[in-house]
Amino acid sequence: MKAVKVVLAILIILLLVAGGGAYYVWNGLQPAKASDTPVKFTIEPGMGTSKIAEVLYKNGLVKNDMIFKGYLKWKREGSHFQAGVYEAKPGTPLDELIAKLNKGDVVKEEMVRITIPEGYTVEQIAKKVSEATGAPADDFLKLANHPGEQAVAAFKDIPQNGKLKHEAEGYLFPDTYDFKKGTSDAEMFHRMMEQMQGKLDGIPDLQEKLRDRGITLHEMLTIASLVEREVVVDKERPLVAGVIYNRLDKNMKLEIDATVQYALAEPKERLLYKDLKVESPYNTYLHEGLPPGPICSPSMASIEAALNPEASDYLYYVTKKDGSHEHLFAKTYQEHLKNIEKSKKAAK
């Protein structure tokens, strides 16, 4: 009888131990204490299941790293986990965590979006970048003045005559850019230059077209920038480009208001007669030929117009004051004066 009691006692102890072990495993497989605050954790490339289980445990996402490791082995999981930065809330079921790691459902990197409108100057671009990043605009402008290693192939054509207001003016393509948060000004600057290079490289027979017109790439971008700042209605771009070429061919001063605006320390809503006399190599009222370089970042439409101007006998144009943003074109100065009067009347 005594022996039977001993055997029963041993059996009870074994059952208790087994039950306790089962409860220990069962409890370890339950979700961690829930929280509404997500935590970030990183799975490094080549990290094994033991280390991954440890990372999850330290971040409060699993109750027991050893049991979680055993669970992975039992379910034959872990061999397809993807590296990256993840985010999960404590209390997430283990199978959901496993699915997230298998899918590579990583945290999307925080991005900074910067839109550079067509016709922006590098000073305006620098301000846009500064607003998005918090870095001083002058940091970006220093790159625009001395691109150095950030320069692209197209940049080699820029004349080194000391007359340029900003060396990179016209070489930063106007577009919408998405940058990872923390991207340096130098990287952003280079990306914008690369974008312009890519657009130029995509133009069929570019070098042949430049040779046919007898201009350099720098001169073409300068003309494109003038068209960009002078024209709003797309269909007029080639025609205005043609007027610019016509005046250049006849050694006439271009007398383009936008070049004066660029020469001024601050652009004005309306130019005064005295502004037309400001001394600057960019002032096409004072100096013949093209300004030293582009006065803004031209769009592809303006670049195409500069490469393929519309032939005409026009030498003058004036903006209509009727709100259409179109122009009145003239072959002679007398015609031009009449168009100016027409424009004034339309504004009344």
Average pLDDT, the chain: 89
Weakest-pLDDT range from 21-35, 100-114, 179-193, 297-311:
21-35
Band (pLDDT 50/70/90 cuts) for residue 6 is very low
> Residues 261, 265, 270, CA angle at the centre, nearest 5°?
40
Strand duo 39-43 + 84-88: pairing: antiparallel
Cα separation, 319 vs 329, in Å, equals 9
- State residue 58's pLDDT score: 93
Q: Please write the tens of the pLDDT for every residue from 300-332.
A: 999 999 999 999 999 999 998 888 888 999 999
Check residues 294 and 111 and name the one with the higher pLDDT: 294
Q: Is the pLDDT of residue 2 over 70?
A: no
Give CA separation, 282 vs 110, 122, 228, in Å.
41, 16, 16
Band (pLDDT 50/70/90 cuts) for residue 23 is low
Identity of the amino acid at 230: E
Q: Please write the tens of the pLDDT for every residue from 246-260.
A: 999 999 999 999 999
46: left (phi over 0), alpha (psi -120 to 50) or beta: left
Q: Please write the tens of the pLDDT for every residue from 228-282.
A: 999 999 999 999 999 999 999 999 999 999 999 999 988 888 888 898 999 999 9
222 with 293: CB under 8 angstroms?
yes
Cα separation, 224 vs 222, in Å, equals 5
Average confidence (pLDDT) over 101-127:
92
- State residue 282's pLDDT score: 96
Cα separation, 151 vs 309, in Å, equals 29
- State residue 273's pLDDT score: 86
Task: Identify the DSSP state of 179.
Answer: E
Residue with tokens 């494109």: 224
Token pair recorded at residue 238? 């080639």
Cα separation, 328 vs 26, in Å, equals 84
Band (pLDDT 50/70/90 cuts) for residue 7 is very low
Q: Is the pLDDT of residue 164 over 70?
A: yes
86 with 105: CB under 8 angstroms?
yes
317 with 243: CB under 8 angstroms?
yes
Cα separation, 85 vs 88, in Å, equals 10
Band (pLDDT 50/70/90 cuts) for residue 224 is very high
Cα separation, 283 vs 292, in Å, equals 10
- State residue 30's pLDDT score: 87
Radius of gyration from C-alpha coordinates of the chain: 34
Average confidence (pLDDT) over 18-39:
76
Q: Is the pLDDT of residue 138 over 70?
A: yes
Q: Is the pLDDT of residue 4 over 60?
A: no
Q: For 210, what's the count of Cα atoms within 13 Å in the CB-facing half-sphere?
A: 18
Check residues 182 and 241 and name the one with the higher pLDDT: 241
Average confidence (pLDDT) over 188-196:
94
120 with 174: CB under 8 angstroms?
yes
Check residues 176 and 345 and name the one with the higher pLDDT: 176
Give CA separation, 51 vs 66, 69, 94, in Å.
10, 9, 16
